[in-house]
Chains A and B, each alone.
Chain A
Amino acid sequence: RKEVEQDPGPFNVPEGATVAFNCTYSNSASQSFFWYRQDCRKEPKLLMSVYSSGNEDGRFTAQLNRASQYISLLIRDSKLSDSATYLCVVNGGRSSNYQLIWGAGTKLIIKP
């Protein structure tokens, strides 16, 4: 089992729709969680950190479920510019020397 797993997609979603995807992680000792966005052939950029109580940034909502060991990203009123690959990132805990473990990404395509 991969340490961080994501559905690779692609998710094809009409503009204006709400879309959500999850990411599961295997290390219960993980303490920090992030979502990064990566446009085609470009570098990843931080979208948002994920806090224990859940957090929102405009149209984006991130949630953490420690019991089931997954984080989620919800995008409301999706825009064409939201088309990208979304990378889930988790702190690997002591076994990984506290380095970050990256998921392979979920590809999102917003259609007009």
Chain B
Amino acid sequence: EAQVTQNPRYLITVTGKKLTVTCSQNMNHEYMSWYRQDPGLGLRQIYYSMNVEVTDKGDVPEGYKVSRKEKRNFPLILESPSPNQTSLYFCASSSGLAVSNEQFFGPGTRLTVL
């Protein structure tokens, strides 16, 4: 089954404790991205990747890191999480540029930073 998977689905952590949210897709998509979704705001892009070893900042990259060592995986790293990073996070992938291709989303990771 074609899908995007994220882990963990739910995470409660404390300020400053490094964490990684994994994202994996099995559709051989070049393009992957991370979004956060907060009440009253649209999805905001954190980072995106056009292909292996190619990543770029989105609209809200501060406090986040990513890597793209393999085509299928695009982990999101929070080196020192803070309460303002409490949010719902989605990973997405598409076969080409996001502007013209359907985005396939993972099920989301609900993160709470205390």
A binds B: yes
List the interface of chain A (C-beta within 8 A of B): 4, 8, 31-32, 36, 41-46, 87, 91, 96-105
- Describe B's contact surface by its main secondary structure: loop
Question: In the complex, which residues of chain A have a beta carbon less than 8 angstroms from the beta carbon of B34?
Answer: none
Q: Are A44 and B90 in contact (CB under 8 A)?
A: yes
**By CB atoms of chain A within 10 A, which of B35, B59, B90 has the most?**
B59
A-B contact pairs, 8 of them (CB 8 A): A31-B99, A43-B90, A43-B106, A98-B99, A99-B99, A102-B35, A103-B42, A104-B41
Query: Is B99 touching A87 in the complex (CB atoms < 8 A)?
Result: no
- Contact status B102-A46, CB under 8 Å: yes
How far, in whole Å, are A41 and B39 apart by their CA atoms in the complex?
A: 12
Residues in A neighbouring B43, C-beta threshold 8 A: 44, 87, 102
Of all chain B residues, which has the CB nearest A3? B42
> Which of B97, B103, B107 gathers the greatest number of chain A CB atoms within 10 Å?
B103
